[in-house]
Homo-oligomer: A and B are copies of this chain.
Amino acid sequence: MQEKLFLLFELIGTVAFAVSGAMVALSKKMDIFGVAVLGLVTAVGGGAIRDIVLGITPPATFRNPIYASVAIFVSLLVFIPAVRRFLFDKSGVYEKILLVMDSLGLGIFTVVGIESAYLSGFGDSIFLLIFVGVITGVGGGIIRDVLAQDTPAVLVRHFYATASIIGAVVCIILWNFFGQSAAIIGGAGTVLLLRLMAAHFHWSLPKAK
C-alpha cells in the first residue's frame, strides 16, 4: 500500500516536471525530439542525481522504464493541437501552469528524496536528509534550465530553494511524529503552498544595492 503511494507520488512529480521541461522546450522553439529530451531530463534528472549521491547505482530511473516512459509520453502530449492551444493561446495561462507544475514537482521530489534516504538507511542524519531532499527537488529543474540556457530557477526565483528546504524540514518532523504518508503529503503540500503564495503575494527578498 505504502509502496504504491510512493510510486504514485513519484509519477505525479515525473508528470509535473516533464510538462515543465516540455513547455520550456516549446517556448525555445525546439522540435519534437528536443521537447521529449528536455521533458525527460527535467523529470528524471533530480532522482538520478539523488541515487548517485546515495550510492544507489545504476539509479532507479535507469533500471525501471516507467519513469522515462511516462516523462516522454507526457512531453509529447504538448504536441496535440488542443493541448497546445490551451497552454499557449490564453494570456497568462502558460506562466500559471508552468508555475504550478514546477512547484508540484519541486514539492514531490523533495519528499521523495527524503523518503529514499530514509529507506536506504540514512535516516539518522537530519542534515543529509534535507540536503538529499533539496537536491532531488531542484536537480531536474537545474538541468532543464542549464540545457535551455536560462538562468537556473534555484538562483533567481524567490523561495525556490527555500521552499524546498522548509518543506524538507516539515517532512522530516511529520515523518517522526505521524509516519510516512503524513510526511509525504504535508512536506510536498508545504512546498507547493509556499511557492504559490510567494508568486501570488510577490514576496520579495533583500537584494544588495
Is A170 an interface position by the 8 A CB rule? no
- Contact across chains for A31 and B207 when beta carbons are under 8 A apart: yes
A142→B45 CA distance, assembly (Å): 14
Distance in angstroms from A168 CB to nearest chain B CB is: 13
- Interface residue? A125 (CB, 8 A): yes
- Asked whether, in the complex, the Cβ of A58 is within 8 Å of the Cβ of B54, the reply is yes
Interchain CA distance A65-B33 in the complex, whole Å:
36
Q: Which of A134-153 contact B (CB under 8 A)?
A: 142, 146-149, 151-152
- How many angstroms from the CA of A155 to the CA of B48 in the assembled complex? 19
Q: Are A37 and B207 in contact (CB under 8 A)?
A: no
- How far, in Å, is A185 (CB) from chain B's closest CB? 25
A25 at the interface (CB under 8 A from B): yes
Question: Does residue A18 face the partner (Cβ distance < 8 Å to B)?
Answer: no
A interface residues, how many (CB within 8 angstroms)? 55
B residues near A34, Cβ cutoff 8 Å: 155-156
In the complex, A109 has a CB within 8 A of chain B:
no
A99 within 8 Å of B (CB atoms)? no
Closest to A142 in B: B147
Q: Which residues in B have their C-beta under 8 angstroms from that of A58?
A: 53-55, 122, 128, 132
> Is residue A29 within 8 Å, beta carbon to beta carbon, of the partner chain?
yes
In the docked arrangement, what's the CA distance between A84 and B131, Å?
29
Cβ B62 vs Cβ A131 within 8 A:
yes
Contacts of A31 in B (CB 8 A): 156, 158, 204-207
Contact A158 B62 (CB under 8 A): no
1/0 contact trace for A31-47 toward B, CB 8 Å? 11111111000000000
New A-B pairs, 9, CB < 8 Å, besides A30-B155, A38-B155, A147-B154: A30-B156, A31-B206, A31-B207, A32-B205, A32-B207, A35-B208, A37-B155, A62-B127, A84-B208
